[in-house]
Amino acid sequence: METQTTTQAATEMPHREPARARALLSTADFHLLRAALASHAKATDDPMELARINALFHRLGNYR
């Protein structure tokens, strides 16, 4: 009897659509991140880190 009540309640609940996805970062955030990366790139001497910074800088530029 308990199972029947639970199943019945589940079928009577209205179907809800999932909430709309929201952006994680705004356009202004991308500009700020690019500025921070540019500043960090000027301060680093490690060529491997500089390559990673440049790649990320480029990817962030594609999201304008």
pLDDT tens-place string over residues 16-60: 888 888 888 888 888 899 899 999 999 999 999 999 999 998 888
In sequence order, what are the residues at sequence separation of 6 or more whose Cβ sits closer than 8 angstroms to the Cβ of residue 61?
34
**Global pTM?**
0.57
Is pLDDT of 10 > 60? no
Going by the DSSP 8-state scheme, the letter that residue 44 receives in this structure is: -
In the chain, where the domains are located: 25-64
Q: How far apart are alpha carbons 50 and 56 in whole angstroms?
A: 10
For 30, counting Cβ atoms within 10 Å of its Cβ (0-12 exposed, 13-18 middle, 19+ buried), the class is middle
Report DSSP state, residue 13: S
